[in-house]
C-alpha cells in the first residue's frame, strides 16, 4: 500500500496555504451571537469589562447599567445614575423624555486598579460607582450631552467628551435635527477635582481613547467624519492634529487587544441620512494605518452602532437601537 508521501515542496505549499488561509479565517469574526437584554429593554451603547474579566457591563435606554452574568442568568441590575430613578417608573422605558428622571448613561470605563467604574451620562454628567454598584456619585455636572469617557489608569485623569453645547440626546431624533460643531474634549483631574476643556468646536462627539503608552488621546468627531489626535506629552503637548479621515460617522474608539491598536465603531448613512445605514468596525494602528474592516451590516440591519470593544479575541458591538449586544468571534 502506498501511503501518501508529501514532497518537501508540497509541505511548503501546505504550510503557506495554512498560514495565509489560517490568518485570513482567524481574523474575520464570522461567528455571531447575541447577549440579549431583559424583556423590553433597548439601547446597549457600551460594553465594558470589569477588573477580572467580569461582564460585560452595559448602559441602556431606561437609565440602568446592567451586568452580564452568563447565559443562564443573563443581564442583572448593577448601577444607576439618577438619584430620582425608581424601578417602577423607569425599568423598560424607551421614552427619551424620561432621561432627566431615569438617567441615560452612554459610556463606561473601568479602572481595574481601583475597581471604580466611570460613567458618562447624557443628563447626569460624569460619575463613578464602586465594585458593588448602586447609585453612582457625580464628579462633574452641568453638561448638555456627555457621550464618551476613558480613565487613565496611572494618573487617574478622566478624559471625557460631550457631543454639543446646544442639543441633547432627545433632539437628535427630532425631525429636522441639524448637528452643530460645539463638541468638546474634557479632562477631570482627581486631585484638584477640576474639569478642563482641552478641545472645543468639535463636530459631534464619540468616545475618546488614550493610547497604550499614554502619549496621546484619540478623539472622534461623529459628524465631522474624522479622528483627531490630542497630544499629552512632547513638543506638541496640548495641541491636536488630524489623525484619520473616516468614510462615515465614527463613534466610540477603544484600544484593541494588540499593542498600539484601536477599534472604532463606524456607521455610514447616518449623518447626513441615507436610505440605508451600514455599520462596521475599523481597526487601525497608532500611526493611523487602517488594518482591518469588519462589516456588521447583516446583524445590525439599517442600524447605527456606538462601540466595538475587543475582549478575549471577540468583538462586542453596542448600539442605541438594538435589544442585544452583538458578539463576533472566530
Ligand atoms: C432605513 O431606515 C430609515 C430610517 O428609519 C428608513 O427611512 C429606510 O427606509 C430604511 N431602509 C431600509 C432599506 O430598510
Ligand atoms: C508611543 O507610541 C507612539 C506610537 O506608537 C510612538 O510614536 C512613540 O514613540 C511612543 N512613545 C513612547 C514614549 O514610548
pLDDT at 57: 98
The string of pLDDT tens digits covering residues 183-233 is 999 999 999 999 999 999 999 999 999 999 999 999 999 999 999 999 999
The string of pLDDT tens digits covering residues 149-186 is 999 999 999 999 999 999 999 999 898 899 999 999 99
**CB 269 near ligand 1, within 6 Å:** no
pLDDT range class, residue 27, cuts 50, 70, 90: confident
- Distance of alpha carbon 245 from alpha carbon 225, whole angstroms: 6
**10 Å Cβ neighbour count for 309?**
25
- Distance of alpha carbon 56 from alpha carbon 75, whole angstroms: 9
DSSP summary character for residue 48 = B
The string of pLDDT tens digits covering residues 263-293 is 999 999 988 889 999 999 999 999 999 999 9
- How far away, in angstroms, is 291 Cα from ligand 1 center? 30
Domain ranges of the chain: 11-329
- Distance of alpha carbon 219 from alpha carbon 215, whole angstroms: 13
Q: What order of strands is seen across the sheet that includes strand 278-285?
A: 249-255, 261-268, 278-285, 290-295
**CB 142 near ligand 1, within 6 Å:** no
Concatenating the DSSP letter of every residue in 171-212 gives GGGSTT----S-EEEEEEETTTTEEEEEEEEESS--B-EE-T
The string of pLDDT tens digits covering residues 237-248 is 999 999 999 999
Residue 304: pLDDT over 80: yes
Cell representation of residue 152:
487613565
Pick the residue whose CA is nearest to atom 4 on ligand 1: 275
Q: What torsion do the CA atoms of 290, 295, 300, 304 make, to the nearest 10 degrees?
A: 30
pLDDT range class, residue 90, cuts 50, 70, 90: very high
pLDDT at 273: 87
Are 7 and 310 contacting, i.e. CB atoms less than 8 angstroms apart? no
23 in helix, strand or coil?
Answer: helix
Are 294 and 29 contacting, i.e. CB atoms less than 8 angstroms apart? yes
Residue 1: pLDDT over 70: no
Rg (CA), the chain: 21
129 in helix, strand or coil?
Answer: strand
Buried b / exposed e over 246-256, threshold 16 CB at 10 Å, is: bebbbbbbbbb
Pick the residue whose CA is nearest to atom 2 on ligand 2: 213
**CB 275 near ligand 1, within 6 Å:** yes
Q: What is the CATH number of domain 11-329?
A: 2.120.10.30
Q: What torsion do the CA atoms of 317, 301, 38, 205 make, to the nearest 10 degrees?
A: 50
- Which residues contact residue 113 at a Cβ distance below 8 angstroms, ignoring those fewer than 6 apart? 51, 153
- Distance of alpha carbon 94 from alpha carbon 78, whole angstroms: 19
**CB 260 near ligand 2, within 6 Å:** yes
- Most informative mutation of 175, 177, 273, 276 for ligand 1 (most atoms within 8 A of CB): 276
Host H or E run for residue 160: strand 158-162
Amino acid at each position: 500500500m502506498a501511503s501518501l508521501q508529501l514532497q518537501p515542496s508540497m509541505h511548503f505549499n501546505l504550510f503557506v496555504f495554512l498560514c495565509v488561509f489560517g490568518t485570513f479565517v482567524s481574523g474575520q469574526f464570522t461567528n455571531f451571537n447575541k447577549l440579549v437584554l431583559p424583556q423590553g429593554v433597548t439601547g446597549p451603547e457600551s460594553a465594558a469589562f470589569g477588573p477580572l474579566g467580569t461582564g460585560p457591563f452595559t448602559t441602556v435606554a431606561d437609565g440602568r447599567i446592567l451586568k452580564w452574568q452568563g447565559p443562564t442568568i443573563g443581564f442583572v441590575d448593577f448601577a444607576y445614575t439618577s438619584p430620582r430613578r425608581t424601578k417602577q417608573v423607569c425599568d423598560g422605558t424607551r421614552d427619551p423624555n424620561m432621561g432627566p428622571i431615569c438617567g441615560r448613561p452612554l459610556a463606561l470605563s473601568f479602572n481595574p486598579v481601583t475597581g471604580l467604574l466611570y460613567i458618562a451620562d447624557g443628563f447626569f454628567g460624569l460619575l463613578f460607582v464602586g465594585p458593588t454598584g448602586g447609585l453612582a456619585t457625580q464628579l462633574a455636572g452641568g453638561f448638555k450631552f456627555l457621550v464618551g469617557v476613558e480613565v487613565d489608569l496611572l494618573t487617574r485623569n478622566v478624559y471625557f467628551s460631550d457631543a454639543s453645547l446646544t442639543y441633547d440626546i432627545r433632539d437628535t431624533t427630532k425631525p429636522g435635527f441639524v448637528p452643530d460643531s460645539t463638541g468638546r474634549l474634557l479632562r477631570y483631574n482627581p486631585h484638584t477635582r477640576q474639569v478642563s476643556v482641552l478641545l472645543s468646536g468639535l463636530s459631534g462627539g464619540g468616545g475618546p481613547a488614550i493610547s497604550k503608552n499614554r502619549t496621546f488621546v484619540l478623539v472622534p468627531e461623529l459628524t465631522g467624519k474624522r479622528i483627531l489626535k490630542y497630544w499629552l506629552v512632547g513638543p506638541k503637548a496640548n495641541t491636536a492634529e488630524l489623525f484619520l479621515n473616516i468614510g462615515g460617522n465614527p463613534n466610540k474608539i477603544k484600544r484593541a487587544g494588540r499593542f498600539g491598536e484601536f477599534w472604532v465603531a463606524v456607521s455610514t448613512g447616518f449623518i447626513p441620512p441615507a436610505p440605508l445605514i451600514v455599520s462596521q468596525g475599523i481597526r487601525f494602528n497608532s500611526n493611523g494605518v487602517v488594518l482591518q474592516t469588519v462589516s456588521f451590516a447583516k446583524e445590525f440591519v439599517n442600524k447605527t452602532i456606538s462601540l466595538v470593544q475587543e475582549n478575549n479575541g471577540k468583538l462586542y458591538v453596542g448600539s442605541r437601537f438594538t435589544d442585544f449586544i452583538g458578539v463576533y468571534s472566530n
